[in-house]
Amino acid sequence: MKITGIESFRLDMPLTIPYTIAYETITSTSNVILKLHTDKGITGWGCAAPDAEVTGENAEQVLQLTNDFLPEMLSGASPYMLARHMDWLRNSFPSSSSFAAMVDMALHDLMARKLGIPLYQMLGGYREEIETSITIGIMPLKECMDQAAYYLKNGFRILKLKGGLNLEEDVEKVIKIREKLGSEFRLRFDANQGYTWEESVEFTKRTSNAEIEILEQPTSRKKEDLLGEVTNRVDIPVMADESLKTLKDAFRLASNELIDMVNIKIMKVGGILEAQHIASVAKAAGLDIMIGSIDECSMGIAAGLHFALSRPAIKYADLDGHLDLLDDPFSGIFTLKGGMLRPGRHPGLGKITL
């Protein structure tokens, strides 16, 4: 099978409701969609979700790289030479992780479609479903409570609360949510680098009765020693997100025992192949693994889902980055019911009718 044609286009999607995290407010997102055509009549799909903070790119840069370099790189090439393609791309564009993820995704999709099986089976096929959390951004207490109650009523059993701007408000929200809504759901908290290590420790002490399951990236990625300080001082698992963008990051964080968990995002690390390497390092270090997402269309979420289903070491998922997007043409590529994500039975990433 040889690649014979390359298409790409930009996909702009507003959010139904803007949301706020510790360092920004998000109102819309722009993805880039890639189609790889082959001499066998099979089309492979990929997407990039560039983000200035997470990946250091924007949609225009991804489109330019796609138009300027992919035809020469992939025309006439075999998708089965994925490791070679991705090595060249990573060495040539080390700061373009969502671009790399898009190409990696499309190549994986081609191979699985040629085999006639869903991608997660080609990657290992450990499980057939995984439960995801649902995220609540930073908002006033009443709105936060109402949204939490709404999600629980609609079947979600894991809430992830964003914070990091105001310790007092964060503590109040966590305590009130647990007091008013009960104990029949799991609660996670993501400070998005907004706390000092002292605030992180104080937060966990004051919310100890709320049984928070995971504390995600409480301190700045620029001061990793503080992340380790929190890990050593609190009783709940501390997870790295913004601090983990490369395989070297994973090795450094693990070897210095700075964290308990890692959040692997396909867009952030540059694709499924690199995510596999990072997951192996995490497994060897005894770190729990979550597969996360950013604001990306359902195709991007599908890639994270298929990877999450492929490995026994992957126990957690935060794959809800598509839920508030309008005009997502790939909705329906998988199912989400009662918080459980399940892929379709179609080959590759799933059935795409665009």
For the question of residue 129 being annotated catalytic, the response is no
Three-state DSSP state, 115:
helix
Catalytic residue among 114, 160, 265, 268: 265
Q: Dihedral sign, CA of 301, 307, 312, 314?
A: negative
Catalytic residue among 51, 190, 260, 295: 190
For the question of residue 216 being annotated catalytic, the response is yes
d(CA 286, CA 274): 19
Q: Rg of the Cα trace of the chain?
A: 20
Long-range contacts: 139-143, Cβ < 8 Å, 24+?
Answer: 139/19, 139/20, 141/169, 141/172, 141/173, 141/176
Provide the b/e sequence for 165-182 (b: ≥16 CB within 10 Å): bebeebbebbebbbeebe
Catalytic residue among 57, 224, 229, 241: 241
* H helical segments located in the chain: 59-74, 82-92, 97-115, 119-123, 141-153, 167-181, 197-206, 224-233, 247-255, 266-269, 272-285, 298-308
Catalytic residue among 114, 160, 162, 268: 162
Write down the residue that tokens 């994270």 correspond to.
Answer: 304
Closest CA relative to residue 67, chosen from 10, 11, 12, 8? 8
Catalytic residue among 51, 109, 170, 216: 216
For the question of residue 162 being annotated catalytic, the response is yes
186-190 vs 212-216, strand pairing mode: parallel
Active site residues: 162, 190, 216, 241, 265
